[in-house]
Structure 1
Amino acid sequence: MLLTYRNQLLKGMQQYPSYSRTQIRKCFPKEYTYLYSHDKVWLFEKLPIIQEKKNNKAIVDWASRDREYCSKVEKLYKELIELDKPVRITISNIGKRLEILSNLEKHLDKLPQTKKLLFETTESTQQFQIRRCCKIIDRILQRQEPVVLWKVQRIGAVKSHHFHEIEPYLEKYLRTKQE
């Protein structure tokens, strides 16, 4: 049995000379296990030399990536602000659209300029509600219709208790637009 397994393993290693130890073990599990248990010295003499593990971790230039992300975020921010149907500007939304969400979540501390820009450009729910309602007011004024705040609230889909919080901002915005 010992000689049979030795011969089978040697034939396999001749048949696949480029295979590593792991690949040989996967191709000949029965023979490898038996020889490992009963003739380990012979097995390790005949197996190929242990290959050094390759370090696949590429060194990242975070400074250049930071500059790249900054320009992409600025460009996307301008596009999002100009959309007809407003979208809330969040780190998650920006990250998903630029396909960099993982880096923003895990490595934002390595991207100081991007981090600063994100905190300047992202908006809270209340800020988004105000921006959305201001766009609605602009559309109503463009059509030269009278602006009634309850209609703005309904079109903007803002709940009453939230609308009472943003109403002073909207009134101020409306006064500046009508002047």
Structure 2
Amino acid sequence: MLKLLGAALIIVAGTMAGWMKARQYANRPSQIRSLMQALKRLETEITYSFTPLPDALRRIAHQNKDPLRSLLMTAAEGMNDAMGLTAQESLHRALDQHWRHTAMKASERDVLHQLAYTLGTSDRRDQLSHMESAIRQLEAEEAEARDDQARYEKMFRSLGLLTSALIVILIY
């Protein structure tokens, strides 16, 4: 009876691990899409509303779900008078704190990291061109993420169950 319970726990744990890994592959394209939409909204705020960067980031953060909401709010809070960080420092700090909670990979982080160097430091036209470039790079990453999702999502779901079943067979 105890062996049966142990085997069931191993199978459940392995299956859940596979499903969690598969969920990362499923969440990555949608998170990249949300990030692109947030950057497009930021373009609009900079171009038409002339909204200060911290206020624009706060407004955009409220329109998104976590983990992107937390990332943008932390970046906006870092630029307030009490913290006194530059846009670059604030965004880098937010990336360091919240990136591990996303399903996105280092390539998307690098795009935001590079974008942070120009936010708030150059004229409006230059910032917009850098944001457009970042959006184009993210579109390419999204296409790659969709390919990875199609290729690996189902495989990891099955692999979790099969690996745990193999462990149970080898143990007993």
Structure with more helix by fraction: 2
Which structure has more RCO (C-alpha within 8 Å, separation ≥ 6)?
2
TM-score (norm 2): 0.31
Higher radius of gyration, 1 or 2: 1
TM-score (norm 1): 0.30
